[in-house]
Structure 1
């Protein structure tokens, strides 16, 4: 058995609830609030479950679970880089846990540790303009180099461009799927999904073998925004599904950003609508970093003393000081700094972002960096 399965002694209980037809996340949360655990829900009498207006099929599935389906799900998790993360697992992402309807079970293929890293959701039209695709790629590349993980939905258009931008920066990216994790949709993104697994992670709440259905995508969107500190809408028509992601972000108390476009471009109307509703108008990636700075600091350096007003470097962690020493006061590009460092790409990106937020490092045009103190 895979080493990560014994850490979840209640995993089978969660899988049974997860596979029960018609048992949605809101009802699971209500049951947990009353009964306290997945095991207690399974042990509850039928009359107690009927109080929550569960169908007979749903209750039958809880009381007489499909052992073959449960075993198949457990067997999947024994594969390399394949994880099942239930709601009470210590690895469950805290930002997602805080939303009103968190999934009770996540399928993750790739690096599960990334789910708790600082993320920015990037979404937009499946039928984006060439300029929109280029903007998404450029923003994703730049923000990835600055330490944020780009999270999107693996869809055609802006989603794919966002993932590609992160990968172009040799950075991880997270794709939240609306299908079973064993069914890549759209099919033309199978190669992209394979690259994401190698460097980032695929995530879904859908059971194995679940085919794409129209109603799965809005449901999936709450996870994209729920994992993230904020959501950036790059290009969206007035009825775009990406607006659902933005509205989820608003309801979850997360930041919402939108890039404006031409008043004559139909795929800009959704962004303009969001801006009128209070989304922050974004023209540069630096503006996003400035807006997210307080949140990023709390996640990237929970145990690090903030720099003093005079930008003292005396209390910096060793890896931060090493980067600062390697940097110097003359501009240097990222790859050259990486060659001088003992850190990997993501670690160096995160440290540079922290140092910039502390006022110790400046980002210059052309992807170069310079020491300020």
Structure 2
């Protein structure tokens, strides 16, 4: 079926007033994932959603749908649908999972093991430095850095990951074509070019107060753990931390001075059971088992998706990305250190670490003592 026709059906359903991601997922489940069947069912029961839904479904705004399709037609713009094999599995088991994600940048980053770094918008200089240091260390260990592109801690975490040559994901509370706050236009461009801007809201959607708690559940849901660097007692970061805890994810908090009002939120989290951390190594050690489990789940999904391909197990095991092929050739059959692999490939340490983690999760590489890596026999 024509992809434009398929996308138009999704966009029509997404913009139906009164439906929401839960309602759309319910219709899709009843229709075995067929968006056209789900849309027909919506038409039949539109009155139950209100006059706005019926009016929209009877006569959708073609100009708005055309604008949505035009945005998706731009290079590196994507619509990840909950029925797609590459929709992030981390989001499937959270309360009120999104039905779609609009992505500007690399959608594959959403499948990587991620750590959310969040905190106060009016962060201190020290807090910003801590956020940057943790982001760099976690990125160099192979974790993608996820945050909300807000001012303060969020921006510092994104920037540090980008400066380290690593990927970062910004989950935003507007449409994917809007930037909030406005001062982050340059940052948004860097993230779209090197990472991914992610939103469940369609193009043209402006900033609204109720969008940001919804955004926070996706930040927490994508991530294996959430680190709160600085937060006041009424900080939105505490909402992200609470959602992460409710989703069964790890919550980490950085302690601070008792005289710093931006440490009080972190101290409350620690009293409530969050892990007090002082180094990124503590987070890496805690989250590595969960990262391995995520890698196993992704590998199983890819095997299932590619079952119809008859190229053989050897071809399926070979990394498709040329950068991965180069890394495997550089690794050869003998153990090598991270520094040696960086020198052989010409890639940054952050990029090589990230690729090594993914290869390890896929069972192709093992970590040895002395920060050495060895390729496993196929």
Residues 1:360 and 2:364 aligned together: no
**Matched position secondary structure for 2:285:** helix
Q: Aligned-pair distance for 1:361?
A: 4.0
Residues 1:179 and 2:149 aligned together: no
Residues 1:242 and 2:237 aligned together: yes
CA 1:180–1:114: 2 relative to 1, 3 Å? same
Q: Which segments of 5 or more consecutive residues in structure 1 lack a partner in the other structure?
A: 305-316, 363-368
Out of 117, 122, 141, the residue aligned to residue 117 of structure 2 is 122
The equivalent of 1:327 in structure 2 is 336
Cα distance in 2 between the residues matched to 1:82 and 1:337: 32
The equivalent of 2:281 in structure 1 is 286
Out of 40, 43, 48, the residue aligned to residue 43 of structure 1 is 40
Q: Aligned-pair distance for 1:90?
A: 2.2
- The superposition leaves residues 153-189 of structure 1 with CA deviations (integer Å, 9 ceiling, x where unpaired) of 1100000000011012111111111111111111111
Q: Which segments of 5 or more consecutive residues in structure 2 lack a partner in the other structure?
A: 301-318, 320-326
**Matched position secondary structure for 2:226:** strand
Q: Is the 8 A contact 2:14 2:24 kept in 1?
A: no
* TM-score, structure 1 as length reference: 0.83
CA 1:263–1:222: 2 relative to 1, 3 Å? same
Aligned pairs for 1:288-327 within 5 A: 288-300=283-295, 319=328, 322=331, 325=334, 327=336
Please identify which structure carries the higher helix content: 2
Q: Is the 8 A contact 2:225 2:252 kept in 1?
A: yes
Out of 19, 23, 41, the residue aligned to residue 19 of structure 2 is 23
**Matched position secondary structure for 1:127:** coil
- The superposition leaves residues 217-243 of structure 1 with CA deviations (integer Å, 9 ceiling, x where unpaired) of 111111111111111111111110011
Cα distance in 2 between the residues matched to 1:293 and 1:320: 25
The equivalent of 1:106 in structure 2 is 101
Q: Aligned-pair distance for 1:59?
A: 3.0
Q: Number of matched residues?
A: 344
Cα distance in 2 between the residues matched to 1:97 and 1:343: 34
Cα distance in 1 between the residues matched to 2:343 and 2:6: 45
Q: Is the 8 A contact 1:128 1:267 kept in 2?
A: yes
Q: Is the 8 A contact 1:326 1:340 kept in 2?
A: no
Q: Aligned-pair distance for 1:325?
A: 4.2
The equivalent of 1:308 in structure 2 is none
CA 1:303–1:346: 2 relative to 1, 3 Å? farther
Cα distance in 2 between the residues matched to 1:89 and 1:11: 13
Q: Aligned-pair distance for 1:142?
A: 0.8
- The superposition leaves residues 286-317 of structure 1 with CA deviations (integer Å, 9 ceiling, x where unpaired) of 1111111111123446769xxxxxxxxxxxx9
Q: Aligned-pair distance for 1:113?
A: 1.0
Out of 7, 12, 31, the residue aligned to residue 8 of structure 2 is 12
Q: Aligned-pair distance for 1:43?
A: 1.0
CA 1:341–1:177: 2 relative to 1, 3 Å? same
The equivalent of 1:204 in structure 2 is 199
Q: Is the 8 A contact 1:82 1:107 kept in 2?
A: yes
Cα distance in 2 between the residues matched to 1:324 and 1:185: 48
CA 1:183–1:17: 2 relative to 1, 3 Å? same
CA 1:10–1:283: 2 relative to 1, 3 Å? same
Cα distance in 2 between the residues matched to 1:128 and 1:162: 12
Cα distance in 2 between the residues matched to 1:253 and 1:92: 20
